[in-house]
Each structure stands twice: as C-alpha cells, then as structure tokens.
Structure 1
Amino acid sequence: MHLPEDPETPLQINIVPMIDVVFAVLAFFIVSSLFLTRNEGLPVTLPTAETAEAQAQRQVVVTINAAGEVFVGDKAVAEDQLLEAIQTLGTVADGGLVVIRADQSVNYGRVVGVMDRLRLLPGVQLAIATAGSQP
C-alpha cells in the first residue's frame, strides 16, 4: 500500500509574539524605574554626611534653597506661615517627621531659625537631609 506523501511545508518562525513580549517587559521596566527615582522638584545642593540614614516613615519636606526661600513640598511659603502650611498637610500630628533640605550655601542661622519655628509643632521630629541620605 502506497501512502500519498504530504507536501512538506517550510518551517516558519513567527516573531510577532516575541516582539509583543519584549515590548511588554520593556514597558514594565520603564514604568517601574520611574518610581525608583526621587524627585523633590527643587534643586538644592545638599551637604554630604558619612553617617546619613534613610527615613522610612511618612514625612513632610521643608526646603531652603540657596536664596534662603522656604518651601513646603514644592510650594513657597513665608517663614511666618510655615507652621500653618505644615499643619494643613496633616501628616505631622503626633510624632511626624519633618525633613529639612537646606542648600549647603544657606546661612546656618537661617536653618536654625526654621528648625526653631518647626519645633513649635507638638510631637514633631526633625531630620536634616544630606546627599548620603537620599535613596
């Protein structure tokens, strides 16, 4: 008995599904890498410290730029309005952390003045950001 021969179809490699998977993985890594960077929005040159530690709890960032201007987050505030601006955020109540990001060229007295005003908040904890403490 003679069986008819099947015509051999040439083998083909379909790369479209592979391209889809590669682009999906690439998109995942691009999106996830955006969450790894920390952008405070205000350019300051932080001093360096060898013993700096990263803080994991919820925090409010107070920035003092090279011109001596005070910002809560990315919003400029007058020094006499600093406490009200932080209290409206509501994250400092009962032991909240306020991180002070002061440019290294800012006068030491200016930083101490801001710290002194922040200590009027009940239960506040203060931290000073350095170049080594940025995650």
Structure 2
Amino acid sequence: MNLPDEPETRTQINIVPMVDVIFAVLIFFMVSSLYLTRSQQSLPVNLPTGTTGEESGPTQNTLTVVMQREGGLFLGTQPTTLDALPEAIQVRRVGTQTVVVVIRADTQVPHGQVVAVMDRLRSIPGVQIGIAIQPPSLEPSL
C-alpha cells in the first residue's frame, strides 16, 4: 500500500502578536512612569490661585518644600523642621549648582509661617525661591 507523501509544512514564527504585546507593555510603563513622577513631586495641598504664574518644569536642581494647613513642614515627602531645613537642603544639593526651592504652601497656612520658611531659605547660599500656585480654573463664565 502506497500512501501519498504529505508535503512538509515549514513552521513559521508569527511575530505580530509578540510586537503587539511589547508595545502594550511599553505603553503601560510609559504611563506608569508619568504617574509616578507626578505623584512623587509633593504632598497634596490646597494651593492659592494666581493668574501671573510662570510654568516651570521639574529639573534636577529643584526641591519642594510643602507647608500643610495642620502645620506640617516637608522637604519633598520627608518631614522636617524649620531648624533642620537648611541642613536637609544642603544634603540633597548636587555639587555647587544653584538649587531652586519651590514652596507649596496651603492657602490656610499663616503668612508669618511662609515668611519664616522663606527667610530660612534665603540664608542658604545658592538657593533661589519659588512659590507654587494653582492656575485659575478654565470653566466658561456664564
């Protein structure tokens, strides 16, 4: 009995699904990293609104001082005190470059406390100070 020879089929690897999976993973990590950089910028506070503020992106030499309504003072996300603030900034300083310190103070923080932090920051050489504000809402007026 003679059986017909079956033609050998060459196995092929289809890479289209693999490319789709790789792009999906890449997009996931890109979106995740954007969320992480925004969430690590500082603690949530209710910022005052202002119309004349300038947009400044985060740089390597930018530190954030957060002043909460309850009286908490943070450098980034680490709690600190007014007396320990200059030393904490010097520890985080990279070389001798100018450091921009952005103050994110809640609207309920007394003006005197903000001035005290600004005064302490001005005593550190090579530090520039910025104040964070919330841009006005873009709701249409009726």
**TM-score interval, normalised by the smaller of the two chains:** 0.7 to 0.9
One-letter code aligned to 1:23:
V
Deviations 1:73-122 (A, max 9, x none): 11111111111111111248442211111112211111111011100001
Aligned pair in 2 of structure 1 residues 48, 36: CA closer, same or farther (>3 Å)?
Answer: farther
Over aligned residue pairs, what C-alpha RMSD do you find?
A: 2.5
- Could you tell me which of 83, 87, 98 is aligned with 2:90? 87
Number of equivalent positions: 121
1:69-108 correspondence runs (5 A): 69-91=72-94, 93-108=96-111
Post-superposition offset of 1:62: 0.8
Corresponding position: 1:62 with 2:71: no
TM-score, with length taken from structure 2 = 0.72
One-letter code aligned to 1:43:
P
One-letter code aligned to 2:32:
L
Q: Is the 8 A contact 2:66 2:105 kept in 1?
A: yes
Comparing 30-39 with 113-122, which one deviates more in the overlay?
30-39
Q: Is the 8 A contact 1:86 1:92 kept in 2?
A: no
SS of match in other structure, 1:35:
helix
1:1-80 correspondence runs (5 A): 17-37=15-35, 38-39=38-39, 40-56=41-57, 57=59, 58-80=61-83
Unaligned 5+ segments in structure 2 are 1-5, 7-11, 136-142
